[in-house]
Each structure stands twice: as structure tokens, then as C-alpha cells.
Structure 1
């Protein structure tokens, strides 16, 4: 039984995954309500096109950081019954070796899907305290690669069967097995 059971009468509840559990009760029996022992969730899923090539830099300790802005379009109703399009431009940042490996593929115009969380970054600029929202990216999926005509090695990165070489930021082809012969004359019937 939840220690906040008295609050359940006034607090809204939501159903947890399993139908065998009562409303607002987790697997441990603790409540998951808006009041009491409330659960916080900070997850965001976005898809859109990169507004510019991703910027790869390194922290003082040598950890890779990739940052980029993502054009996320949303349709909104106009007052006259028509629909307009509004573009949000969230700043996104990804850390670690995976970010470093993805950087060559994150080019302007590339359509991606990402999973991350909202983070507030605070810093000082001209003596004023500035707070900015950014998306801390946990996972990226390339949905449509924007080929770069100026770099053939990077343009070939969109082709299937390419892998990243260790220590070399340019993509190299991996060995692929030969396709089976679909027109075999020795059919058993």
C-alpha cells in the first residue's frame, strides 16, 4: 500500500503498464500520482532536418561533443481556416565516442530522428546570467542522408554496407557477402 494513500482521493491517477496493478500503483506498490511521491519524466523525441553541419569539438578533458540545430516543422491552424507551418529550431548536443562517430554523417539537410532530454544550461555573458534550453541527445537515427557533393567519401557514406574506420573520420566500405543467384537453372521441380 502506498504511504500517500490519503492523497489518492484528491490526486488524479494514471494507469501504469500492467492491468494487474491498480490505478496509480507501480510494480513496487508505490504511488505514481501528480501529488505525493510524484514521478518526473524528462524525455523528448524529435525528427527533422539539420539546419547546418554538426560541430564537433572536445572538452578540456578530451571528451567529444557534437552540437547542431534541428529544424522541426509543425503545422498550426491559421485564423482563416487554413494551415500554416511553423519551424522550431532546438539546439541539440550529444557527448561521447558515439557522437564523435556520428559527426561526419550529421550534415546540413540530413533528416534525423533523435531521443533525448531537455536540459537548462546556465552561463555568464557580458556580466549577465543566461539560461538556455537545449536537447541532450541520447540516441540518433539517420532517416535520410543529405549527400555532400564536395566530398565523395562522405557522399558514399549514405550507401548501405559502409562502416566507420577506427581513428579515421572518413567512411570506408566494409566487406559484404555476395548476393545469392536468384536465377538458378537447377530448380528442383
Structure 2
């Protein structure tokens, strides 16, 4: 149906270090999880924070470039869409819902400091080690448009 809408916008903190893998076709897949707090009123009329946890996945060159900045505790803003995976395991159908990230913005470090990751041409480009291979990644701007997961063939995604 053309009138359906699937958009997710969240601001939260990473709950663990990101994980970068590569599909059999060579496409980068970066997975991470964020916690988003929600204020709610308790039975005794006091306010408390309740944490909600969301699994997220980024694809392609942007996933490779952003992976090195996604450390536990960092605050990020993401835009994306919900994706549901279904598979059989031990004779039972399993499902998983995660956020396919189309855009990610780095907001604050784990210590709460705001950061600007723009680099000049004279600065060294960051390098990271992923799956025992050295990867030289261009410095990302604070906001990166990842395109969309629809650009990738489902056979390239390992889940």
C-alpha cells in the first residue's frame, strides 16, 4: 500500500561497542544497540526513567566509516526504519525487529562532551582494525546519509 509509513527517529546512548562484519559479497554491516530513556510516573506518583533498548544496523561504506566512533556510552541520533527478520530455529519460527539506520549523527561522547568530527585535508585520516584487516576510512561528517537498505540485495545480508 502506497500510504504506509515506516520511519524511526531516536536519540539515545550506545549500550556496547559496535560490531563490524562483512557479507560474503563484501558489504560492510555495522550492528549496535542504543538505550533510550522514557520518563514515566510510578504508582506513588513519582517520576522515574525507564530504559528501552533497540538493536540497530547500518550498511555499506558509511557503516565502515562510522564504526570507529560508535563506542559504549556515546550519544547518537538515528533515523531509519523498522525491519523484521524471520527464520526457523529448532523447528520454531523466530522473529527479530531492528532498526535499519539510514542516517546517524554523533551527539556527545561517553563522557558527555560534544564533538565535531570534521577533519581538514592535512590531518591524518583515522584507521581501524576490523576482523583482522586494516581498513582506512574517510573521516565522517557528523551527519551521514546512508542511502537505504533497499539498495542492497537481501542475499548479501547474513540474517
After TM superposition, is the score higher than 0.5? Answer: yes
Distance 2:55 2:89 in 1: 18
Distance 2:126 2:15 in 1: 27
What displacement does 1:84 show?
1.6
Match for residue 82 of structure 1 among 28, 46, 60: 46
- Aligned: 1:68 with 2:25: no
Larger RCO of the pair (alpha carbons < 8 Å, separation 6+): 2
What displacement does 1:124 show?
2.2
Distance 1:57 1:124 in 2: 23
- For 1:98, what is the secondary structure of its paired residue? helix
- For 1:61, what is the secondary structure of its paired residue? coil
Q: CA RMSD in A?
A: 2.3
- TM-score normalized by the length of structure 2: 0.71
Match for residue 60 of structure 2 among 62, 76, 96: 96
Q: Write the mapping of 1:170-189 to structure 2, written as runs, cut at 5 A.
A: none
- Sort the Cα spacing of 1:140 and 1:159 in 2 relative to 1 into closer, same or farther, 3 A: closer
2:101 matched to which residue of 1? 137
What displacement does 1:141 show?
0.2
The unaligned stretches of length 5 or more in structure 1 are 1-36, 148-157, 172-189
Point out the structure with max Rg over C-alpha. 1
1:48 matched to which residue of 2? 12
- For 1:66, what is the secondary structure of its paired residue? strand
What displacement does 1:101 show?
0.5
Match for residue 111 of structure 1 among 75, 81, 86: 75
Distance 2:2 2:60 in 1: 32
Residues 105 and 145, structure 1, Cα contact 8 Å, conserved in 2: no
Deviations 1:56-94 (A, max 9, x none): 001111100000110111011111111121111111001
- TM-score normalized by the length of structure 1: 0.60
Residues 65 and 138, structure 2, Cα contact 8 Å, conserved in 1: no
